[in-house]
Chains A and B, each alone.
Chain A
Amino acid sequence: MTETHELLAGRGIGRVFGRGKARQAALRDVDIDVRPGECLAIIGGSGSGKSTLARILLGLDRPDSGTVTYRGEPVDGPRSQGYRLLRRESGLVFQDPFASLDPRWRVERSVGEPLRIQHHGIAGDELRDKVADALDLVGLDAGEFMGRYPADLSGGQAQRVAIARAVVAGPSLIVADEPMSAIDVAARLRILEAFATIRKARPETAIVMISHDLGVVQHIAERIVVLHDGSVVETGPCDEVLGHPKSDYARQLVAAASL
């Protein structure tokens, strides 16, 4: 059984939106593997199907064809064993941090929420320490930031708070969907550093980074999957895809990320 080597796997995934004339294939026969502890980048332009793929891999949307497994268990609806495991062991980061943080909650409460849900009864110093550790991983001073509301954070700081929340419960998998595209260039570096620190401190945690920008993922991804019009057009180690892109589309992406 080689299947169980992968943490998360998709096989032959297809997804169609619309009906009749408006019928459009968002994903066609996509195979994808995420291995334990690796950083995998899913790269593609707007409309390439990358966010649809992420939603399907996370069990938030169902494919019209193909299967998803997590630790070898099928992810197939909210009652499936794979889905339950996946929800417990994964953290998500979205594009717009202000939309993903509750504006009425202080940073401490937002970051601690996954822990309170998963470990009933965790409270006080134990909870506080774990929240402080997570903030430390993303380069935010716990003393300074725990009491703040989202409105008192810059976009880059808010995104690092969202990353701290994704990592606080010690997930096996973090999925980040365009975590840097709404953030200015200087603050993107701090976010990349946060991910780099997480990779060092938690080598067993796999990261799936979804992006349109090769320049952003070059410092962090080990492998790259290039999606175009719903199909995988190229996949391989980061250096190979960046240095010797084989498909036309990957060549365009490389050109677009070069000065």
Chain B
Amino acid sequence: MAIEVSGLSVDIGGRPIVSDVAMGVADGERVGLVGSSGSGKSMIAKALLGLLPRQASASGSARLGGTEVIGADETTLAGLRGRYVGVVFQNPGSSLNPVLSVGRQIELPLKLHYDLDAGDRHERVMAMMRKVGLDASLAGRYPHELSGGQQQRVGIATALITSPRLIIADEPTTALDSITQRQIVDLLVSLVDGAGASMLFITHDFSVLARATSRCYVLDRGRIVDSGQTAGLLASPQVAQSRRLVEAARKLTLGGPDMETL
């Protein structure tokens, strides 16, 4: 299993943010985690990556590729982060280092986690840029010189350069315009499938989830309230919270129902 979570709870200052969550992502599977703002979905991602804020306390179990991360020491976590799991964040404008050129940005995880010579690294960076659709001429540019879509392509290249077995994508398309959103989702899916990796795709938007995942979990106030095949959940949501999210996504889709009819 790429991800195996059971009985995971996260409290901040005694306030429960995530409560008794159990979920799994099999090797090679793309799974969604969907919920409104404040439902706790990013906190689950942070717990999986060992990046919880200092005042948070986590209990239960979360395994990435069989390695327990709850309570794990920094060495274990650092090893997992660079090699086993790659992360794509919501806002590439702030997750990229503004003083690193595109080429160096993408190269950094290789430098930190693998013992390769400079020529080898350069070759891999160029190959990865081609894969994510970035022209080689952009290698010397800085993040602020790129469009939001290009920045997110750099983010994806940086996450994938170490050939991780698992990608955690936390709202990777929310900051992008609708046409770019689609391109980035399709790119992520093809790269993850091409590498035979797994993906946990976190979003508030069911319409994105349908393209990105085959199965999903619905999170509401820190609890998993529903799960199943994404297509099935979209077609006939049974649980109230899922219905609310699906209806919202449908109403904001062309060819969906009118405002009054739902």
Contacts and interface: CB of A to CB of B under 8 A. Distances in A.
Interface of A: 44-47, 154-156, 181, 183-189, 192-193, 196, 212-216, 218-219, 242, 252-259
A169 B174 CA distance: 33
A184 B204 contact: yes
Nearest to B179: A256
B136 to A, nearest CB: 20
B244 interface: yes
Interface string B141-184: 00000011100000000000000000000000011111111100
Given A45-B177, A193-B259, A187 B252 contact: no
A213 B178 CA distance: 6
B259 A185 contact: no
Given A155-B37, A213-B252, A259-B253, A46 B259 contact: no
B187 interface: no
Contacts of A257: 178, 253-254
Contacts of B182: 255-256
Interface stretch (B17-25, B78-86, B123-131, B205-213): B205-213
B178 A214 contact: yes
A213 B181 CA distance: 11
A188 B252 CA distance: 9
A46 B147 contact: yes
Given A47-B147, A219-B258, A189 B177 contact: no
Contacts of A213: 177-178, 252
A184 B37 contact: yes
A212 B255 CA distance: 17
B254 A258 contact: yes
B245 A185 contact: yes
Nearest to B245: A186
B179 A252 contact: yes
